[in-house]
Structure 1
Amino acid sequence: MRWAALYARSRQLPAAFGALLVATSGVWFLGRDSWNAILVALALTTAVAVAATGLSGQDPDLDRTAALPWPVRRFAHLALIAIVAGAVVLGVQELGSSAVAASIIVRDAAGLAGLAGLAATTAGGQFGWTLPLAWAAVSLFVPSGTSTTDQVAAWLRQPAETPAATWTAVILAIAGAFAYTGWGGRR
């Protein structure tokens, strides 16, 4: 068996992909007539959360001592989560009559994947879902004001032309990718 198939099985990628499809489709089905940025944020958060549970294997020591260069594979895994989650949401929203801008979906998918990487690095791969879910839950209660603090806290719901939201997502994506690529999931 090739290393890619073994890696995918050890990280439960087939099950995560199936759960990602079901969860995203379920969110779209429930809000198909009123598809908006909040539902996109919910769908992306759900997609990233179910995929992020596999950010570490069953044996962290084995991951750290393997002969293969893990940083490249870790980065690819995190990037794949963002790409697949964004692509599924982009595809699902095409089934309805209303759509959210692709730039918002790409921004949110990258930022949420970065949060998953940070969570996996600090709490362990099995808890990669915690930070994306926590930030999404908190952002729903932040008023959509014009202050920079509100725009940073609710970056998932901001329009595409909001610099504070874009920079927040970029910083989270870079920090999460850097942390997870360099150190992997915590024991």
Structure 2
Amino acid sequence: MRWLTLYARSRHAPASLAVVLISALAVWALARTGDGKPWSGWLPVLVLVAGAAAVSVGLGGQDPALERTAAIRWMPRRVAHVLLGGVLIGAVLLAVQTMDGQQTSPALVLRNSAGLMGLVAVGAACWGRQYAWTLPCVWLAFSMVVPPSADVVTQVLTWMLLPSGTAVGTWTALVLAAAGTAAHAAVGVGGGVARR
């Protein structure tokens, strides 16, 4: 278990977990109205985006060159990190919402968690862990200003805010999750270029 502890510390797992919890509790505190109304449609997405941004810090180590030369297989660890990050942010959202007796659809949480972790994985593979958070944050900001429409392109752009069971939203999230996880597993962080 010592290797797991060292891995978690090198990936800033305790700090990331703290930020995930604090951001979820902050949104919960701001969303409380006291009248039992459910959270509005974008608040659960905001919690998931903040969680994905916090987890993205741990997608790479301190030295990308060291990871490329290490004698261990990084690919399974990278895949596990992305998948566990998605499970973590979804579980925290569902746990915080139960404090109000509310719950976002688990299918929606699963879809958005998977898609958002795919986005941060793409960001880590392309620009490094320090900029991995930008894709989900920019995509959410863009989604909030695009007017709703039945057009497929608009639904792809606003997949995070679509109701669960929407085929376009589900497929968009699945493609992002699969592509992001595969890119991060194969490339690692920063497109294979060490940053100093």
Q: TM-score range, shorter-chain basis?
A: over 0.9
User: In the alignment, is the contact (CA less than 8 A) between 1:47 and 1:85 conserved in 2?
Assistant: yes
User: Contact 1:55–1:126 (CA<8 Å) still a contact in 2?
Assistant: no
Q: Secondary structure at the match of 2:42?
A: helix
Pick one of 133, 138, 143 that aligns with 1:139. Answer: 143
Following TM superposition, by how much is the alpha carbon of 1:135 offset from its aligned partner in structure 2, in angstroms? 0.7
Match of 1:167 in 2: 171
Q: Distance in 1 between matches of 2:31 and 2:53?
A: 19
1:108 aligns with 2:116: no
Mapped pair 1:85 → 2:89: yes
Q: Which runs of 4+ in 1 moved over 2 A?
A: none
For residue 9 of structure 1, what is the aligned residue in structure 2? Answer: 9
In structure 1, how many angstroms separate the alpha carbons of the residues matched to 2:92 and 2:56?
Answer: 15
In structure 2, what residue type is equivalent to 1:5?
T
Q: What are the superposed Cα offsets for residues 48-89 of structure 1, whole Å, 9 maximum, x if unpaired? A: 101111211110011111111100000111111100000000
- In structure 1, give the amino acid aligned to 2:55: A
Provide the rounded CA distance (Å) in 1 between the counterparts of 2:108 and 2:32: 18
* Percentage identity across paired residues of the two chains: 41
Partner of 2:58 in structure 1?
54
Partner of 1:23: 23
Rounded Cα–Cα distance in structure 2 between residues aligned with 1:116 and 1:27: 21
How far 1:19 moved relative to its partner? Answer: 0.7
Once the 2 structures are TM-superposed, how far is the Cα of residue 32 of structure 1 from its aligned partner? 3.1
Once the two structures are TM-superposed, the CA of residue 30 in structure 1 deviates from its matched residue by 0.9
Q: What SS does structure 2 have at the residue aligned with 1:22?
A: helix
Offset, 1:96: 1.4
2:128 is matched with: 124
What root-mean-square deviation, in Å, do the aligned CA atoms of Structure 1 and Structure 2 show? 1.2
Measured in 2, the distance between the counterparts of 1:155 and 1:29 equals 26
Superposed displacement of residue 98, structure 1: 3.3
TM-score (norm 2): 0.92
Aligned to 2:49: 45
Unaligned runs of 5+ in 2: none
1:96 equivalenced with 2:107 (yes/no): no
**Number of residues paired by the alignment?**
187
Q: Aligned letter for 1:9? A: R
